[in-house]
A and B are shown apart, each in its own frame.
Chain A
Amino acid sequence: MFLQQVVNGITTGCIYGLVALGYTLIFGVIGLINFAHGEVYMFGAFIAFSVLALLGGPFSLAIVAVIIGTALLGCLMDGLVYRPMRMAPRVSQLITAMAVSIVLRNTAMLAWGTRTRAFPSIFPLRAMEFWGIRVTQLQLAIPVLTLLLMIGLHLLIYRTRLGKAVRATSLDLEMASALGIEPNHIIATIFALGASMGGLAGVLVSIFYGSLSFDMGVAVGLRAFVACILGGIGSIHGAMLGGLIIGLAEAMAVGYISPGYKDAIAFLILTLVLIAKPSGIFGVLVEKGG
């Protein structure tokens, strides 16, 4: 039972971590909690669903469509909504992000309906048993894919010219701009990057559970947000670690207490972190801007 819940926890934890990366990248540079990020995750799932349902695949096309579609969605969100609000007070920006979230969720509801849809089964999800633990192939694939994405992101941020510019901008946007770095390009890039990772997470979850719905982003968005706070918001590695911890904690609560407590766990962790160490595991609490 314990190991089974560890496996389940790692699977969902990876998903939370992937979504959390989007929050933390954006917060790191412009200090905004993009509350609409959970909706991007949902859109990712629906883009894949639409490609598979309407065109009948192939799956690779669906994945490309998700990456491009959600990256565009991220850029549009930034360009049309957040950029004009850049100089506005922090609270106004947060409220704007919530509004974007509502608009996107309702758009999805109108486009794809309120029903929970079944995700086309493309892979035969065979379960394997090791020492009494049931593991599906996807449960193995999700951590591997997550790890690959994390390594890719790490290399991008720490090794490339663009990544260094992202870090410079997040440390001192004004100084970076005086060196010739266009902050709006950097911000658009991280919106695209964060959104496509969130979108991919949405697809993985839909395949895993075999279903998707217009409001699937709400719960995951919340957990990923808590994962960021736990890991130290602004920290890439913190977001991933925070996601894993929350995934595992939830799995344990479901296994050992009651499935009913699943939703309470994220809130409990959030409360504890805010009381004990508001800066999170890797975080240095910084007051960004006004």
Chain B
Amino acid sequence: MLQAVELKASYGKVSVLHSISFEVKQDEVVCLVGSNGAGKTTTLKAVMGLVPSQGDVLFHGESIHSLRPAQIARRGISYVPEGRRIFPHLSVLENLEMGAYLCKDTKALKNRLDQQLALFPELTGRLHRPGGTLSGGEQQMLAIARALMASPKTLLLDEPSMGLAPMVVDRVFNVIREVSRQGISILLVEQNAAGALAVSDRGYVLEQGRVVLEDSTKNLQGNPGVQRSYLGGHL
């Protein structure tokens, strides 16, 4: 349903993505793993229309490549950025409301809110606090909840486990499984390759702006090169 075709992107004269092609099918969790600077974040931003790129991005068979980010969001793609990017001076509730900005039906909005609070009970008591006062883990939950408020078909997740305590990291990956069960396909970018592969169906390995390997997570987990480079060699 989401397909990137030979995506290329550069910051000024420095080329970051050379030619990235991948696909996320209905109900799939797909991860992009790779080291720092491999182009994972840029790939997500290019899909979301946040950085200029060449190539094509198809969603449900239609090109969304030349659309503005807000139009892409309207098509049903939600984005959880690296570093969470909660609106710090907006309350938790307002952050969630902004996630559902495109939904003007107050009843549907209330339903979605209840749904998210069921999935993220830790936010319930914090609804009227400024988003910036939450802990890192809570902010990550809020960022995911905010994205889900849009009721997306596909969720883009950029480094959701970054900078979090191990227990919270487990919680994040459990949430990803739960979201996937709701029928939302997920494109996950992670440096924590072990965790990412554990929740994904398929994975792509990125090196220096190129896809160097693509396989089912089972095969990737068994691949000696992947073990050495991304899994610490002891799996």
Contacts and interface: CB of A to CB of B under 8 A. Distances in A.
Interface residues of A, number: 17
Interface stretch (A59-67, A100-108, A111-119, A175-183): A175-183
Interface in B64-113: 68-70, 72-74, 79, 81, 85, 87-90, 94, 97-99, 101-102, 104
Contacts, number: 62
A174 B102 contact: no
B205 interface: no
B51 to A, nearest CB: 10
Interface stretch (A40-48, A160-168, A198-206, A264-272): A160-168
Contact of A175 (B72, B74, B87): B87
Give chain A's interface secondary structure class: helix
Given A165-B98, A178-B50, A178-B79, A171 B88 contact: yes
B9 interface: no
A182 B98 CA distance: 12
A175 B98 CA distance: 10
Interface range for B: 20 to 34
A204 to B, nearest CB: 31
A211 B150 CA distance: 53
A263 interface: no
Contact of B97 (A161, A174, A175): A161
B70 A177 contact: yes
B6 to A, nearest CB: 23
B197 interface: no
Given A161-B97, A167-B89, A171-B88, A177 B68 contact: yes
Given A172-B87, A175-B81, A182 B94 contact: no
Counting from the closest, the 10 A-B pairs by CB-CB distance are: A180-B73, A177-B69, A180-B102, A178-B79, A175-B85, A182-B70, A171-B87, A168-B98, A178-B69, A180-B70
